A and B are shown apart, each in its own frame.
Chain A
């Protein structure tokens, strides 16, 4: 049973919190990353969906062409990390709000943490180990700068 204090009971003296206030830094991160994501996401959407032939222009050679330029490597890597951590932390907020059962909450929080970590590692590896001219691939699928073309 819950008991509540009598009215006007002095508030308990709180000991000053020690250590890093992670919840505060998460709150700041949502806003700081949000501002940067506006630029990164709208740039990404413009180049891939609006410019030129839009979505119909996207294929392996298109991606290889973008990642031949360090500018887009940095852009996409930042987008990957900032968006996944922003989204993952946002999902954490929603799970804490709605998953009232302790077991369900733990399972969901672990799933978000695990998928965030796995996808950041996977995505980063894909960008940095990318081979634009894989051997034994049909030449017409490869970007124009590959030796086989």
Chain B
């Protein structure tokens, strides 16, 4: 079986002329490793954000019903449980957005495919910075008394 399947990355031809038959197809953009997992999480986060967006447009539409109705529902977003939910939401959107920019660079930047692995770790790094900035702030808002 040829291992030159679609998506094989440039520059990973083995140096020796005989290679052991790989147990599983490897070294492609989409099978295993960073490429596949970034794709898996891009899909999962995309769907999760989509369903949140549906609910979020409906709850915001309550401003057109009455101030009482809107405030009653939006107060649910301020409970500790939903406060943690907002951390999950920001985590999902942050990962999807940063990895989305990585996908765009893979597609349009001339050496994008070559650096896709490195860009994945840059995505994870920026995502960690984002969460380190957001989580303490959110915990203060949710559990820090106030109001």
Contacts and interface: CB of A to CB of B under 8 A. Distances in A.
A115 interface: yes
A115 B83 CA distance: 27
B36 interface: no
B68 A137 contact: yes
A127 to B, nearest CB: 9
Interface size class of B (residues with CB under 8 A): 35 or more
A55 B70 contact: no
Nearest to B93: A41
Contact of A55 (B57, B107, B141): B141
A74 interface: no
A85 B90 CA distance: 20
B122 interface: no
Main secondary structure of the interface of B (DSSP, over half): helix
Contacts of A53: 141, 146-147
Interface string A63-89: 110000000000000001001100110
Given A34-B104, A55-B141, 12 more contacts: A31-B103, A31-B107, A35-B104, A55-B78, A87-B49, A88-B50, A90-B50, A91-B46, A115-B54, A123-B60, A134-B67, A142-B67
Interface of A: 31, 34-35, 37-38, 41-42, 45, 49-50, 53-56, 58-61, 63-64, 80, 83-84, 87-88, 90-91, 94, 115, 119, 122-123, 125-126, 129-131, 134, 137-138, 141-142
